[in-house]
Amino acid sequence: MKIAMWSGPRNLSTAMMYAFASRGDCAVSDEPFYAAYLAATGIDHPMREEVMAAQPIDPTVVARHCIGPNPAGKPLWYQKHMTMHMIPEFDRGFMRQLTNVFLIRHPARVIASYARKRESPTLADIGFLQQAELFDQVADDLGRAPLVISAEDIRANPRVALERLCFALGIGFVPGMISWTKGPKPYDGVWAPHWYNAVHGSTGFEDPEGSLPDLTVANDRLVQQAMESYEHLLAFKL
């Protein structure tokens, strides 16, 4: 099985990749379309040149890899994908050969976290509109809504949330999924030194979050622009 987990940035996505890697029967890939996205858009991200040197920049090559044989012959392959990487110019047909799951988090939490790493985020940076578009595309292909899981639910009770997700995927839950070793991982993307400081210091999912963060006026406006897309998927969460 190839599990494609689609989220925007700062959505618990790296911790979820670590959780699946901790199973023992699951290969993982970290944002395989990142370099192709940077090359196609020209967007300036931290460590841009390092990312583009580390991955293929041809989206067709990346897509073929994502539907190819599972690495190391593992029965499961967890692919961490960013929704904003799947720009309209990229052929999305490969997604039909994946088990697509959507990881959501409240926009206010996403934007507060993202803004600490990269100033003045835009709606395109945080991936909510793209996530809703991809969700609808997969739903049309399947004839039903694909799986949706909430970052808030995972942090509230990691074991219960991951048991529920594994059951929905038709795979067994492995207790080791709720913890991992501290520090960088060999499967981290080359961009990890900029983005993954917090998760590198962790050995499991963080405690439940409190009230929504206070935001600047500009970032609060961004939250309002993202809410419709977020709530569209929220209605289908496990």
What's residue 32's pLDDT? Answer: 98
CATH of 2-234, one of 3.40.462, 3.30.420, 3.40.50, 2.60.120: 3.40.50
Tell me: the pLDDT tens digits for 137-189?
Answer: 999 999 999 999 999 999 999 999 999 999 999 999 999 999 999 999 999 99
d(CA 34, CA 84): 9
Contacts (Cβ under 8 Å, ≥6 apart) of 102: 5, 6, 7, 131, 134, 135, 146, 147, 148, 149, 233
pLDDT at 119: 67
Beta pairing, strands 2-7 & 26-30: unpaired
Q: Is the pLDDT of residue 125 over 90?
A: no
122 CB contacts (<8 Å, ≥6 apart)?
Answer: 222
Rg (CA), the chain: 17
Q: pTM of the full predicted structure?
A: 0.94
Cα 99 to Cα 138: distance, rounded to the nearest angstrom: 10
Enter the tokens of residue 16: 């979820």
CA–CA distance, 228 with 173 (Å, rounded to integer):
32
pLDDT at 120 exceeding the cut of 80: no
Residue 231 has pLDDT above 90, yes or no: yes
Q: Over the stretch 189-220, which tens digit does the pLDDT of each residue have? A: 999 998 899 899 999 999 998 888 787 888 88
Please tell me whether residue 104 adopts helix, strand or coil conformation.
Answer: strand
